[in-house]
Amino acid sequence: MAVGSKDLTSKELRGLDEDRLVEELRKAKEELFNLRFQSATGQLESHGRLRAVRKDIARIYTEMRERELGIGGTEA
């Protein structure tokens, strides 16, 4: 699943297990770090990518919190 793409939708996140969500979150945070580093050094080509990755991270956190509270489509 590509981070920051239309493949990472809320609907697909609901189908993932807890370990996979944590792994996707780790990958997204790593990519965000790399994009910020590129931005600081002037090598970033697509500034929209920063926004997309931040939104993906927010989607993952939202799904994790919904599971914690017991709301949403699937139970934890």
Nearest residue to 33 via CA among 9, 49, 13, 16 = 49
Give yes or no for a contact between 57 and 31, defined as CB atoms under 8 angstroms apart. no
Q: Round to the nearest angstrom and report the end-to-end CA distance of the chain.
A: 22
**pTM of the predicted protein model:** 0.83
DSSP for 32-70, please give it: HHHHHHHHHHT--S-THHHHHHHHHHHHHHHHHHHHHHT
Amino acid at 67: R
Render pLDDT for 39-71 as a digit per residue (tens, 0 to 9): 999 999 999 999 999 999 999 999 999 999 998
